[in-house]
Amino acid sequence: MDARLNLFGSQVATKVLKCLTAAHNAVAASKLPATTQELVRLRASQINGCGFCTDMHTKEAAHAGETAVRLNLVAAWREATVFTEAERAALELAEQGTRTADAAGGVTDEAWANAAKYYDEEQLAALVATIAIINAFNRMNVIVQLPTDGTYQPGQALI
């Protein structure tokens, strides 16, 4: 299977990907825990059906110290007891922020208030940015049907 469009062969797409990568790097340097960032990226990628990003962020999360048990349970985080309350709040915000079309009001006040119990303003900004950025990457990849062969390696530079 080939992608519909070579994102790295397009000047416009390459510029956009570089901007998204720079935004990703700004969040990566924030006070939001790296494992939380990866759990959020993984969950949004699962929801959006982005195989490339699901592969990438599963491996990046493992590289950041996540266990196989927790990674295997991300899709069922509500029923899993292996996540902290802070991580659960981040995953809820990620789900609601990814599925904005499914709810007339977008992210609920309850989900926001719950996340605000565990994260300060800078961490909330990083969390919101993480959700927005991964959704942008997911959508580009899904639209062009970017295939994955499962060979992504942690830290692999794409741009």
> Tell me, which fold does domain 11-144 have in CATH?
AhpD-like (1.20.1290)
pLDDT of 159 over the 60 cut: no
What pLDDT is recorded for position 157?
66
What pLDDT is recorded for position 81?
98
Angle, in degrees to the nearest 10, between helices 34-48 and 121-144: 30
The C-alpha atoms of residue 13 and residue 55 are separated, in whole angstroms, by: 21
**Cα atoms in the 13 Å half-sphere on the side-chain side of 130:** 31
pLDDT band for position 62 (50/70/90)?
very high
Q: What angle do CA 74, 78, 80 make, to 5 degrees?
A: 65
Give the DSSP H/E element, type plus range, for residue 150. Answer: none
Torsion sign over Cα 88, 94, 95, 100 = positive
What pLDDT is recorded for position 12?
96
Is residue 35 within 8 A of residue 62, CB to CB? The reply is: no
Instruction: Of 70, 110, 76, 75, give the one whose Cα is nearest residue 93.
Output: 110
What pLDDT is recorded for position 1?
76
State which amino acid sits at residue 75: A
pLDDT band for position 8 (50/70/90)?
confident
What pLDDT is recorded for position 107?
93
Q: Which two tokens stand for residue 48?
A: 């959006």
- pTM of the full structure: 0.94
CA-to-CA separations, 83 to 9, 25, 59, 69, in angstroms, rounded: 40, 25, 18, 11
pLDDT in tens, 77-116: 999 999 999 999 999 999 999 998 877 678 999 999 999 9
Contacts of 87 (CB under 8 A, 6+ apart): 35, 36, 39, 77
